[in-house]
Amino acid sequence: MRERLTSTARKFQRDILLYRMVLGDSRTPWPARVFLGAAVMYALSPIDIIPDFIPIIGHLDDLIIVPALVIIALKMIPNHIIDEHRRKLESGQESSAARTD
């Protein structure tokens, strides 16, 4: 169980870094930047459509809206841009790409 959680956390970290790299790429279309930015802002914002203090339903909006925004954004980004940044992450070049921000 612990290994599974660790693996999921690492994947989440890697995906966040990938989104950051894609956002920083000038070839990324601006609508995709808006959707990715909105996903990040909504995830971090204390203001929700349905307040989190409402049991179960309050967290469902986070589990639906944020992934939906990310999926929409990723569909707008050409595959070769995402693949290029994934290869950079796998080869260990993410630190130099992340520092360009």
* pLDDT tens by residue, 10-47: 888 888 889 889 989 999 999 999 999 888 888 878 77
Cα four-point dihedral sign 34, 36, 40, 42 = positive
Using alpha carbons, select from 10, 80, 85, 81 the residue that is nearest to residue 96: 85
As a whole number of angstroms, the distance between CA 29 and CA 93 comes to 23
More confident residue, 48 or 76: 76
| pTM of the full structure | 0.72
More confident residue, 1 or 91: 91
As a whole number of angstroms, the distance between CA 66 and CA 63 comes to 6
Q: E strands, 6-88, where?
A: none
- Answer yes or no: are the C-beta atoms of 81 and 22 closer than 8 Å: yes
